[in-house]
Amino acid sequence: MGETFTFLKTIDNQSEEEKMSTTESLNADDLLFYHSLRADLELLAKKPKLQTIHYLLDYSRSLR
């Protein structure tokens, strides 16, 4: 089980060069789809304030 997590961690730690080489190997249609999808996913990304994170942590601790 530990090896599975180690394997996933190595995938998540790809360098920017590796990510760029992945997009360079795509054809034009795939590249357009990739960029449109990435833009939509960036809209979904949330960056909560630090205070919000603390409120959530305090709430979860109060439930213990």
Closest to 23 measured CA to CA, from 35, 14, 12, 11:
35
Paired tokens of 12:
């998540």
Please state the domain extents for the chain. 2-62
Residue 24: phi, psi to the nearest 5? -70, -25
Q: CA of 22: how far to CAs of 7, 10, 16, 27, 31, in Å?
A: 19, 16, 10, 11, 10
Instruction: Give the model confidence (pLDDT) of 10-54 as tens digits.
Output: 455 556 566 556 656 778 888 888 888 888 888 888 888 999 999
pLDDT at 9: 47
Please tell me the pTM assigned to this model.
0.34
